[in-house]
Chains A and B, each alone.
Chain A
């Protein structure tokens, strides 16, 4: 069953066609990876799906429902969570606060009730707290619970950001370069977690990734992008063998050479 469907998506910034007529569908329960050289439009697709950018044309459907016109803050509530390429955590708040923000879309009480912090608010806070404790256990973040993000090393921040996305109880998770900036060991951990997210938590994953080992290890399907256009789709092996992909990366024509 197709969970997320992107149809003829395009966005132009000035004269530049960052994404130019991209279509793909992501099935429930798979790990779908988007690869491509720098500037191919991978992150832009994420920004379009999470509604930060307004597409010039095209449709985005989630669970059969058109979400192209929704504001960005409605996306989390639908069950689409994301991480960011350069980590967008709330730096001056603790890990707990960050994760609790992942629960924001599930809140039921409003600001007025919060002024008084009555029993309903308290009960809700406790319920959310229980939920994020599961995520903390899942990602082994117990040590860092009360630390401020600004004091954490990069690798841990990356995990916290993943955790925050998981706290929203997503149906689909968009991971923007989950391994960038991580060392070999941390990348391995990340690869296990991504598999676990799919296998244990049953969450569909779309990721943008440069590390081909990680891509091969976890992906079910891969989509290769260049200059905002799809050049190949298929299993990791198929895509990597595709002549156009090789040309895009190694520079058969005037494309800039770019190691994967």
Chain B
């Protein structure tokens, strides 16, 4: 049974990958005309850009989960706060875009650390489910508080960036610079994170704490502080995602709640707990969504991502890069 499902999994994923890369080939052989190919690539690029945002939010969720086994349902709110901070610094105070963006991410980091200290630490050791409810409640509170802040409120705002409005032309393909910026900065950020976890002491300590809390504690790693830093890092990534998402959608209190229900499927699709998994999962969800929205009848845009999730989980319950943990008795 498992073997059969495994075979089907390889078959399906291989054909999906082939299908994904086939349009340029079809165009070469003249089956597809140039306009159709451009359309397709356009969708892939916008899907990738959206997917990058999902991936970053999923990445934050996975970072926190890996280290603390807390499933953070408020990750979308961390993102939303980051976006609002950026709006405050850049639009309201009129700061330079880059300075404002840096301040927003820094603010996000502080906010994440404060969240860990104030909300999460009192419930460490309780069943995972109880902590999930705490983060869920925290999401409600953050949304409420943000809507009460003078100048933020329940309105919808746009964030202007240095890239806004300009297009990037690659032959016939027109890519908005916002999309290009999202994709490029996600790549850079992921590279940084990889180096961080691989080569810095703090990164290694974070890995260790996530493998075995008690052992890490005995080895002299200040586990509690590491957790706080993880929350800070994760919230920083989320704020960064908010900064990227703001120019292509709008800033409003509900923006996080919408993204979270894409980011979680992304993290799960990739294998919950796997960092590359979160990124690949985010990209898959983003691209599937964009293609389904364009080529399938109306209404399939949102459903398609979930159908893909269900199919993958059916065939590979641990996700694409997930670890199968077998309990020893």
Contact = CB atoms under 8 A, between A and B. Distances in A.
* Bind each other: yes
Interface of A: 43, 47, 52, 84-86, 88
B299 to A, nearest CB: 37
Nearest to B329: A84
A175 to B, nearest CB: 14
A47 B327 CA distance: 12
Contacts of B329: 43, 47, 52, 84-86, 88
A84 B329 CA distance: 6
A85 B329 CA distance: 7
Interface string B105-137: 000000000000000000000000000000000
Interface residues on B, range: under 10
B277 to A, nearest CB: 22
Interface of B: 329
B136 to A, nearest CB: 23
Contacts of A85: 329
A118 B50 CA distance: 57
A52 B327 CA distance: 11
B2 to A, nearest CB: 10
A47 B326 CA distance: 13
A52 B329 CA distance: 9
B157 to A, nearest CB: 48
Contacts of A52: 329
A141 B329 CA distance: 25
A86 B329 CA distance: 7
Contacts of A88: 329
7 contacts: A43-B329, A47-B329, A52-B329, A84-B329, A85-B329, A86-B329, A88-B329
Nearest to A50: B329
A100 B329 CA distance: 22
A45 to B, nearest CB: 13
Contacts of A43: 329
A32 to B, nearest CB: 20
B135 to A, nearest CB: 23
A18 to B, nearest CB: 12
A84 B328 CA distance: 10
A47 B329 CA distance: 8
A169 B329 CA distance: 22
Nearest to A84: B329
Contacts of A47: 329
A43 B329 CA distance: 8
A11 to B, nearest CB: 13
A15 to B, nearest CB: 16
A88 B327 CA distance: 11
Nearest to A85: B329
B222 to A, nearest CB: 30
Which are the 4 A-B pairs with shortest beta-carbon distances? Answer: A84-B329, A88-B329, A47-B329, A85-B329
B246 to A, nearest CB: 46
B126 to A, nearest CB: 14
Contacts of A84: 329
Nearest to A47: B329
B323 to A, nearest CB: 14
